[in-house]
Structure 1
Amino acid sequence: MEAITAPQVWTLASSALVLIMTPGLALFYGGLVRVRSVVNMMLFSVSAMGVVGVLWILFGYSMNYFADGESGWAGSPFKDFGLIETDPASFIGVGFGAVFAMITTALISGAIADRVGLGSWVLFAGVWATLVYFPVAAWVWGGGWIQNLGSTLGTPDVIDLAGGTVIHINAGAAALALAIVAGKRLGFAPGSHKPHSVPLVTIGAALLWFGWIGFNSGLAGTASDAGLILVNTLGAPAAGIVGWIVVDVMRDKKPGVVGAASGAVAGLVAITPSALNLSPVWALLLGLIAGIACAFAIDLKYRLGYDDSLDVVGLHLVAGVIGSLYLGLFAFDDGLFTGGD
């Protein structure tokens, strides 16, 4: 019988950390909505865990990887249906992928608070995970065209450590589309929907940050890699808090706890693709930029007329794009200002 290795132990522990993130998201979202919507909003996150977890084991993991020489939209859902061909020693990786799929789908639900029923959400979650998340994950992490884009174009490889594109841009784009389709809430206007529980928001953000350490570092192969990822996963959201608070003080004349929590999330999202490829100073600057940019971006929904209830677009899409583009400027060796051509 094969002995478990230290990297496998860390990936197993990281899977548990990432698993905590979805209940943390449920608390974060639950605190942001009105009292009457708390249970329903939290159930959206929990139901995403159930639906996507089942689909991942049945065929999502199989779709997530292209076989040698295989190309197309995604890997075959039937090649390893129900993990029948997967070595049990690889199940740790299966579980790690499953918790990523769960949190990604749950993120989208914040865009439709107060407007969509549970049944419609569950149907959407299953269809979206199958038709969008599993294929995009295969494109970026499973040998697909995005992962091979550098070789195709003769440029540095695409970098997406833990999902700036796969998770945050992907979920943010879906949230924007869903918010437009779902329409606006009654009374949609600036300041019309206040968070009902700041403590819930704070606890939820803390659990997200706690889990994000495993989220970013779950596949770290060395102590040096893990240490850099840890410092950047602490530094970027800390700077995001500072950036958001500065905007709150300038705009509203006072800082807010919800703003600080949102700034932390903005910094976490921005550092997700690049925690292994930025020096700590550049990570701090990234978090600061993301916190400031997202603090302004959440108001775009009023100007553009889409009702993104809990600012999934303003946080995840915007910070995901910022973090991914920032890599081109400041990534180790390949950044435009740090050694790139």
Structure 2
Amino acid sequence: MESENQTGMTIFHFHPFTNLPEMRPLIFGAFLILYLLSLLGNSTIIFIVYSMRSLHTPMYFFLANLAVLEIAYSCTIAPLTLANVASVRKVSISLVGCGTQLFFFTLLGGSDCVLLAIMAYDRYVAICHPLNYTVVMNWRVCVRLVAGTLIMSCFFGFQLSMLIQTLPFCGNNGNSEINNFFCDFPAVMELACGDTHIHQTALFITSVIVLTVPFLLICISYAFIVTAILRIRSVAGRQRAFSTCSSHLMVVLLQYGCGSLIYLRPSSSYSPEEGRVVSVVYTFITPVLNPLIYSIRNKELKDALRCTLRRRVISQRK
């Protein structure tokens, strides 16, 4: 591989989505639309939560932070991917640049997963302990939970970013192409020509902490939530409680399902083709679906959106 060029830098190229020139504009257009929809949808949620005082609650505070993470997450992956699809020549990236992208990908993706667990705990307290909700989930606790999530994910991102710099890459053996559209750790590790046992172990431990532990906490939270909801005598009360949780569960299944397929499987069974397909789902499609799921399933958010649009229409008429 082009492990060393004239400047002594390790250079990679990304695998093209297609070798058919006529397909490139279609793929580019589809990815660009998904990217813009992600920015628009998540920005709308942030704006609504910020502008409506009725939504200044811990639940929507976490939702707005999730939207911020989704925007940053999309901006980490999409621009370079779009450049790779649009370019006739293969887009290259240095090992340092690859590590930088991996750092932000891990930071934002890991924070996303942990924040979903925090949101599940928030729903648990709201439904199972409503009288103590304002005491348990006060603003100081909410801010500390988000800050702790970012710090923890930053640590894992830095760790993986440093580990990728120590992968044993060989000389020019023709394997300089990353079989993905971004610097995902399993895809880059496929290019190594030496022992990667330490790297595989570090990736597995990070994946367990970021994916498995939060998912178990979510399952435990929802076990208590479902038990509490079934005790509600009012049908309308049960429906309202389920509606506030169903959107969160749909996002959880998307996020953790895709992540588990890539990072919680043995490296020997890693499939680059399957990895690219699943990566498209959680890097382009999921950031678009998250705001749609929350806005469609959440009555308060829909009412706030209608109110905001109505105000804008009235202000423009004046």
Same fold (TM over 0.5): no
Where relative contact order (Cα < 8 A, 6+ residues apart) is larger, the structure is: 2
Give the TM-score normalised by structure 1. Answer: 0.27
Give the TM-score normalised by structure 2. Answer: 0.28
Please identify which structure carries the higher helix content. Answer: 2
